[in-house]
Chain A
Amino acid sequence: MELLVASAVGILTAAGIYLILRRRSFPVILGLSLITYAVNVFLFATGRLATGAPPILNKYQEVAYTDPLPQALVLTAIVISFGMTAVVVMIALGAYLSSRDDRTAMPVEPEGAGDDA
């Protein structure tokens, strides 16, 4: 299972970085989403991988348990990345609709042109 999780994190991150380097807003946003998935899985694994174990300590006997804290961290990270994705989609839409261009690199403006900062 370690191999599966580790390779999933690696592949998601690699694909995400590739997409971000495409420098067009839609692939960039997809790439960001993939990387946030990767980091969520990674965070989940930081409490060590344990299957079928409850996230609580048993005070009567020594029972295997899984660390509950990374699950809380992942929940927070999911909520934040969800909100952030919404924000970046809106801003990228604004940029696309006002310039009719979805490249994330900014064009060079001629000197002295326009007052629009």
Chain B
Amino acid sequence: MIDHLLIAPVVLPALVAPFIIMAVRHHLDLQRIFSLASVVLLAAISLTLAAQTLDGTVKVYELGDWPAPFGIVLVLDRLSAMMIVLTSLLALPVLLYAIGSGWDTRGANFHALFQFQLMGIMGAFLTGDAFNLFVFFEVLLIASYGLMIHSGGTRRFQAGVQYVVFNLLGSTLFLFALGTLYSVTGTLNMADLAVKVAQIPAEDTALLRVGAVMLLLVFAIKASLLPLHFWLPSAYANAPMPVAALFAIMTKVGAYSILRIYTLVFGPEVEATAGLTEAWLMPAALLTLGAGAIGVLGSNKLGRLAAFGAIASMGTLLIAISLFTPSAAAAALYYLVHSTLAAALLFLVADLVMERQGPWIQAQLPMPQTGLISALFFAAAIALAGMPPLSGFLGKLLVLDATRGVDLAAWIWAVILAGSLITIIGMARAGSLLFWKGHGLPPRDTDTSEEPPLEDLAARPAQLPFAACFGLLGGLVALTVFAGPATRYAEATAAQLYAPTAYIETVLGRHAE
């Protein structure tokens, strides 16, 4: 008896999205209700699934009852469960924000695209087949193209073209990589790939190594690893900010894929690909963190500030991943959850400011609700920079602790600490310009055209956007308060990742019993 709950995170948004398009296209309230209900249900399903994997079981769902490796399988282990829970818990406040701030009324089909995006992300986290991973990448990308240009505008379209072209090239490279791997191993099921790759004689692995590196490049594009990060700043800065907040999980799809493929298939003990990634993944991750931190310092627009903050946090995450040890992977998983929530919070706060003052970081007159917004900005900034008391500090501490005995440890410590410092300075500069310098300015002339929306905002402070921001902040606080259980969960997940035998046997062994 197969447990059909496992495919529900993919099927539910896949059914809700066309329903929203076809049945309730002209009823915004109904769209909002269905979209919210779907996300809440998704969170419930993800938590149920995660509870089932707590004891370390790996669950397999065979689509069409075709046994692996002949059919496509969905696999649920602790890592996948953690990622789908994180996705659904991120989607809820982001959707609330989009509804509360009215972003979903500024263009067509926001809710349908949002659901399709969730479907792609959930599928990418659950699938156990490399080609199916490509398909889900495309699903989440094609939805993200629509969301990225939501509500239009010249610069948004121009940034959209760059974003689409860059990602289409990435997808093509993904296909080249998969084709190469298939021609060597004759399979694309991840568990079967792990078995076949381990059997290939060492002198016969030239093509396999090419495939492995190309695959890593694809995931590096998604994870915005330097020097493949160029698509991210203009795409995220020009996307609607709630959409960019949801995109915070998309870079993590790349990080997840690196973690999955390079522990399961090309694990540390596989001779054929040994030493391929270690040599340059770590320096690239260090450069990513540096570039992100300097970008934060140099940003003149809030959207870019948040985007470079996201790049810096991806740098820290990839440093932890590219150590390729269980303790570093545990640190990476803790930091992954933190950085997703923190980056999303910063994007939402950036939108609160931009709705009131426009996109530029410059001294302006105090905005409505300036005290509340500046407090939220402060919280988001210290979270993303990794300052105590929020969880970013603990995450960075775990990453630093995991570098014990590594050759590059001095470099890693120097870059992470210096990167944090530069990020703090950049955030402090932006915050003081936005929230302090404005108090000294002369009052605005009364005849400006900006007056009506400002009065509107002051008269009717929308509560939902603030509730969404405080929800994300609450997540960060919870991650800090319950750091003990969270790190234990991350350690158990990392241990399961680095002992892939159970995963492989569960996927391939169902019908051999």
Contact = CB atoms under 8 A, between A and B. Distances in A.
Interface of A: 20, 25, 28, 32, 35-36, 39, 42-43, 45-48, 69-70, 73, 76-77, 80, 83-84, 87-88, 91-92, 94-95, 98-99, 104, 106, 109, 111-112, 115-117
Contacts of A77: 175
A87 B155 contact: no
Interface of B: 131, 135, 138, 142, 145-146, 149, 152-162, 164-165, 168-169, 171-172, 175-176, 178-180, 182-183, 234, 237-238, 300-301, 303, 354, 358-360, 362
**Chain B interface mostly:** helix
B168 A112 contact: no
A112 B149 CA distance: 22
B142 A35 contact: no
A6 to B, nearest CB: 13
Contacts, number: 110
A104 B172 contact: no
A73 to B, nearest CB: 6
A77 B172 CA distance: 9
A117 B303 CA distance: 8
A62 B180 CA distance: 27
Q: Sort A-B residue pairs by CB-CB distance and give the 6 closest, nearest first.
A: A95-B157, A46-B183, A46-B179, A115-B358, A117-B359, A98-B154
Contact of A91 (B161, B172, B175, B179): B161
A76 B131 contact: yes
A69 to B, nearest CB: 7
Contact of A95 (B160, B179, B360): B160
Given A104-B162, A111-B300, A32 B157 contact: no
Given A115-B359, A116-B155, 11 more contacts: A35-B172, A36-B172, A46-B182, A48-B183, A87-B142, A91-B149, A92-B161, A94-B157, A104-B165, A117-B155, A117-B301
Nearest to B138: A80
A98 B157 CA distance: 8
**Chain A interface mostly:** helix
A103 B286 CA distance: 33
Nearest to B139: A80
Contacts of B303: 117
Contacts of B171: 80, 84
Which residue of B142, B152, B158, B300 has the most chain A CB atoms within 10 A of its CB atom?
B158
A94 B149 contact: yes
Which residue of A42, A95, A98, A104 has the most chain B CB atoms within 10 A of its CB atom?
A95
B157 A117 contact: no
A115 B358 CA distance: 5
A69 B168 CA distance: 23
Given A36-B172, A42-B179, A88-B168, A112 B360 contact: yes
B156 A117 contact: yes
A115 to B, nearest CB: 4
A98 B159 CA distance: 13
Contacts of B159: 106
A32 B166 CA distance: 10
Given A94-B152, A111-B300, A39 B158 contact: no
A92 B238 CA distance: 15
Contacts of B169: 20, 32, 35
Contact of B168 (A47, A84, A106): A84
A94 B359 CA distance: 22
Contacts of B362: 111-112
Given A20-B169, A87-B164, A104-B161, A117 B154 contact: no
A8 B461 CA distance: 61
